[in-house]
Amino acid sequence: MENGEGVVKRFCYINRKAPYGTIYALESLEVVLIAAAFDQDISLVFVDDGVYQLTKGQDTESIGMKNFSKTYTALGDYDIKKVYVEKESLEERGLTADDLQALKYEDEDDDWAEKDSLFLVGRSELTEIINEQDVILSF
Amino acid sequence: MSVLHTVNKSPFERNALESCLRLAKAGSSILLFEDGVIAAMQNTKFSERIAQAMHDFSFYVMGPDVKARGLGEDKLINGIQVVDYNGFVDLATEHDAVQSWL
């Protein structure tokens, strides 16, 4: 696939760690934004403890670390429209979609209508999504 | 001799808490902090195990780490006491030794 300026590859970022306890979640976000700047076809996947990265109401004031959870809600502005969360990972942790931030993007082909970019997917569906990628990066 | 055990890793990711529960002496205290706070939440795969272990151990959880992860102190397993950094220091001084399960 070409976008007029070069090759577009399907990039998939797999996030499996809770935020703040390790640096993985923040580093993943940094790298995602780099690929977005090069207009690549990006999918974000959150499985295992990675689902904790997307919880709403994060408040890091008393641990003295930067709260980067707001960055996820800005991903739509970087044309990142495919964020996949594994259902089974949520269930094992007693979480539901209501515990997560809403992630949206504005669809330029549909009069900039606001649409969901977060999708809950089952294990087998996720297997297929990952299998279709050109580049897979793990965090 | 009283021991404060500390666990800072998610039970989904490491077996640190599991080993702690297996080897700690009944009557000990266990403090969950950093990613370890995940074990203190209701309705996870591990909640039942923790609730059971509360017969043998006093459980504490680091409130600031719960808040940072957006997990909500209202969703903690009943009976786990919330502490802050000063509470951590108090626990450390009240016990004879601290064992960190890294």
Asked whether the beta carbons of residue B35 and residue A21 sit closer than 8 angstroms, the reply is yes
> What's the pLDDT at A114?
96
Residue A35 sits in a domain whose CATH number is 3.40.1260.10
Asked if residue A39 is part of any domain, the answer here is yes
**Residue A3: which pLDDT band, with cuts at 50, 70 and 90?**
low
State mean pLDDT over A80-84.
98
Q: Determine the 3-state secondary structure of B24 from DSSP.
A: coil
Phi-psi category of residue B43: left, alpha or beta, with phi > 0 → left and psi -120 to 50 → alpha:
left
Per-residue pLDDT, averaged over A64-83, amounts to: 97
Work out the pLDDT band at A6, boundaries 50, 70, 90. confident
Is there a domain that residue A87 lies in? yes
Distance of CA B61 to the CA centre of its chain: 5
A100-129: string of b/e by CB count within 10 Å (b at 16+)? Answer: bbebbbeeeeeeeeeeebbbebeeeebeeb
Contacts of A92 in chain B (CB under 8 A): 12, 44-45
Domains of chain B as residue ranges with CATH: 3-101 (3.40.1260.10)
Pick the residue from chain B with its C-alpha nearest to A96.
B43
The predicted-structure confidence for B38-91, as pLDDT tens digits, reads as follows: 999 999 999 999 999 999 999 999 999 999 999 999 999 999 999 999 999 999
Helices (H), chain B: 16-23, 47-53, 63-68, 85-94
User: Is A4 among the domain residues?
Assistant: no
- Quote the pLDDT of residue A120: 98
Interface of B with A in 5-34 (CB under 8 A): 8-10, 12-13, 34
Average pLDDT value for residue range B7-18: 98
What gap in Å lies between CA B100 and CA A35, rounded to an integer? 39
Residue A94 has what pLDDT? 98
Q: Is A14 inside a domain boundary?
A: yes
B68/A63 touch (CB, cutoff 8 Å), yes or no: yes
- Does residue A84 belong to any structural domain of this protein? yes
Q: How many structural domains are present in chain A?
A: 1
A2 has a pLDDT exceeding 90: no
Residue B1 — very low, low, confident or very high, per pLDDT cuts 50/70/90?
A: confident
Q: What is the pTM of this model?
A: 0.95
Q: Is residue A1 part of a domain?
A: no
**Domain residues for A107?**
10-138
Percent of chain A with pLDDT over 70: 96
Q: Report pLDDT for B44.
A: 98
Determine, yes or no, domain membership for A52: yes
Q: Distance from A70 to chain B by nearest Cα, in Å?
A: 12
